[in-house]
Amino acid sequence: MLVAGIKSRPVYGGLSVDPNARRHLFALEGEGALALTEEAARSGADFLKNADILYVASGSRAADHDKALTALGADTFWLSPTVPVLLNRLNVMLGQAKMGTRLYVAVTEGFIGQAMQVALNHGIDHASIRCEHRGSAARRVQCVHCKGVTDNVTTSPYVCTHCGLSLLVRDHYSRRIGAFQGVNIDAEEPGTAPQPEELFP
C-alpha cells in the first residue's frame, strides 16, 4: 500500500561531473562508490585532481569499495566510520568551501536526504546538488504524529519505532527533514492495519 503520484517525491538526476566546477566534493555511501568510479571511467579522471571524497561503507563494507576509491587518486580521500561522522565532516568542509565547488551525493535515499539537509543550511540550492540513487529503495520516514524519524523502512505500513503507531508511507517528501511522511493508517479502528507489504526492498 503506497500513496504515490505526489510531486514532492525526489527525482535523482545521476552523478555526472560538472566540467566547469573548480572543486568537486563527493559524499558517498556504500555502492555510491560505483557511481563515482563509473563516472571517472566515462568522463575521464581529470576532475579528480580537484576532488575531495568522503566515504562511508555502511552495509557494503565487504565489497571493499574504499580500495577502489583510494585507487582513483583524488586530491583527498577520507573514510568515515559512520554516517553521522561523515555528515559532520561534510558540514565543516562546506563551511570553508568557495563558490565553484560542486557537491555530489550517492547512494541510498536516506543518506542523500541527510547530506542535502547539511548542504541546504549552507545556502546551496537542492537543484544544484547532483545525486544518484541505486541499490536499496529503503526509505527514511518521519512519523507525522510523534515526529520520530525511522531509517531504512522497507515496508508500508510500518510500525513507528518511536510511538508504535501503524504508518502508511506516502511519497510526500520533506527536504527540510530529509524524510518521507508516514501517516497513521488505522486511526479509526486501532489494530485493523493491513499486513505490511515489502514495497521498498
Partner 1 sequence: MTINTEMKVRVAKITPVADKVKRFRFERTDGQPMPVFSGGAHIIVSMRDGQVLRRNPYSLMSAPGDTSGYEISVLRVENSRGGSAFLHEKLKEGDTLVLSQPVNLFPFDHRGKKHIMMAGGIGITPFMAMMEQMELEGRAFELHYAVRTRSHGAYWKELQQRYGAHRIKIYCDAEKLFIPVDAILENQPLGTHLYVCGPAGMISGVLGKARTHGWPKENLHSEEFLAPPPGKAFQVKLARANRTIDVASHQSILEAVEAAGIDAPYLCRGGACGQCETAVVSCDGELEHNDHFLEPDEKASGKKIMICVSRIKGNAVTLDL
Task: Name the site residues for partner 1 (rule: CB under 8 A).
Answer: 18, 20-23, 94-95, 97-102, 120, 122-125, 127-128
Encoded amino acid at 81, one letter: P
Query: Please, what is the minimum distance in Å from the beta carbon of residue 100 to partner 1?
Result: 4
- Smallest distance from partner 1 to CB 123, Å: 2
What CA–CA distance (Å, rounded) separates 183 from 167?
5
- CB nearer to partner 1: give 67 or 98: 98
Query: Which CB, 33 or 115, lies closer to partner 1?
Result: 115
Q: Count of alpha carbons within 13 Å of 66, Cβ hemisphere only?
A: 16
Q: Closer to partner 1 at the Cβ: 101 or 166?
A: 101
Q: How far is the CB of 104 from partner 1 (least distance, A)?
A: 12
Cell of 141: 520516514
CB of 70 to partner 1, least distance (A): 25
Nearer CB in complex with partner 1: 12/159:
12
CB 167 within 8 A of CB 160: yes
The answer to whether 30 and 146 have CB atoms below 8 angstroms apart is no
Place of cell 560505483: 34
Largest pairwise CA distance in the chain: 60
